[in-house]
Amino acid sequence: MADEVIDGIKRRLRGEDSDSGSDYVMERLLKQHGLPLPEDSGRNPDAIAMQMELFELIERQSDAGEAGLEKQVALIGRQIDAVIERAKARFGKR
């Protein structure tokens, strides 16, 4: 994984907000695929875990894109697709 992506992970672990628009992208993906939105998840730990995983991958993809790492962007895109497919199997259409 490239340094820019690792640096982004470290920033998020320190609690620094990247303000990259990833929350908007995540919400759009969740709506597009009929998955639970953060405000609808309540205390469902499975939905919250899925959203956190999806958000982190979106952040990593953004970091890779900003660094011009197109192969990383594509790889992370496939990981995002896999998370969405698992979530669709788990939660189905709303």
* Mean pLDDT on 54-64: 92
Single pTM value for the model: 0.83
pLDDT of residue 19: 63
Q: What is the pLDDT of residues 3-35, one digit of tens each?
A: 777 787 777 777 776 666 888 899 999 999 999
Query: How confident is the model over 60-76, as a mean pLDDT?
Result: 92
Q: What is the pLDDT of residue 1?
A: 54
Q: What is the pLDDT of residue 26?
A: 92
> What is the dihedral sign for C-alpha 60, 4, 72, 13?
negative
Instruction: Return the residue matching tokens 């469902």.
Output: 44
Domain range summary for the chain, segments of one domain joined by +: 45-94
